[in-house]
Amino acid sequence: MEKKVLLGFFAHPDDESFGPGGTLARYSAEGVDVHICTVTDGAAGTADPDCWDCLEGYQDLAERRVQELGCAVEILGGTLHFMGYRDSGMEGDESNHHPDAFINQPLEEVAGRLTYLIRQLRPDVVFTHDETGTYYHPDHIHLHKAVVMAYRAAGDAHDQLEDGIEPYMPWRLYCSVIPRSYIGLLVRLLRLTGRDPTRYGRNKDVDLTRIGKPADQIHARINVRRYLSVKREASACHGSQGGGGVLKPDAGLGLPGYLMYWLRKWSGNWERFQQIYPPPAGRIMRRDLFENQARPAPVQPSGS
């Protein structure tokens, strides 16, 4: 029986572990050929303040983050494909204007490289960030657009690449998402503790009130409980980004702090995905990204 192939596209080093790392670990353990493509170097990020020796032995933060990425991918059981674009930083950052920033690279050029990889690896399933970039990170959004473009181009017989690799369309395209119901509860709990949900995260640059997918746009829920230890180990590789942290009750916040802890702990047992292509016919909820596979109709060339 031919081995299944899964390809995940991610904007930055750590997205693969802090995001759907449980899904990647699960499918790798189940014998799926897992590939992880990371497109930027993470250069515009900031090192965790507790990682005081983060740059010791490294030329810069980007070099450290790429090394961390290799460590995490190995633990998750995947094969790494690194594109080497420059991190663009969060929306409004000075890094947005750097000529080498990922968001300043033409979509067609990025999609061409991704198309080549899809045709080369011939994955059954592809997934990436959703159209909002989960938390409106410009690199995530730019990558989403490029992946959708590449997915369609990969199966277009009229869209030939330089060395003539055969056109190929994966069975499904998903986006990794967070349920709005979970985020809504977290927002209410943060407000109960006097925290501002519009300034969330280490750098206070994430607005939780804009985040999350409604239930009718979530089409797969993957149980990753057995693989959380692998996900934590992979996340720990990213020491410059806090290593994912160890989930503990915030006793100083009283009951709301414990409720937030149990909410995060419970929700972390599943990772959720929205199916982009082929568009789902009605409401579905898969327990497996490969469930009921049926090859979609070929993509028609543009202008046909």
- Domain 5-177+218-247+271-277 sits in CATH 3.40.50.10320: yes
pTM: 0.88
Residue by residue, pLDDT tens for the chain (304 residues) are 688 999 999 999 999 999 999 999 999 999 999 999 999 998 887 777 776 677 777 788 889 999 999 999 999 999 999 999 999 988 888 889 999 999 999 999 999 999 999 999 999 999 999 999 888 899 999 999 999 999 999 988 776 665 667 889 999 999 999 898 888 888 888 888 888 888 877 677 778 888 889 999 999 999 999 999 999 999 999 988 877 665 555 555 555 555 555 566 666 789 999 999 999 887 889 999 998 765 544 444 443 3
pLDDT of residue 253: 53
Residue 200 pLDDT: 78
Domain boundaries, the chain: 5-177+218-247+271-277
Q: What is the pLDDT of residue 291?
A: 85
Instruction: Give the pLDDT confidence score for residue 297 in this predicted structure.
Output: 45
Q: Encoding tokens for residue 298?
A: 């070929």
Residue 57: per-residue pLDDT: 76
pLDDT of residue 29: 97
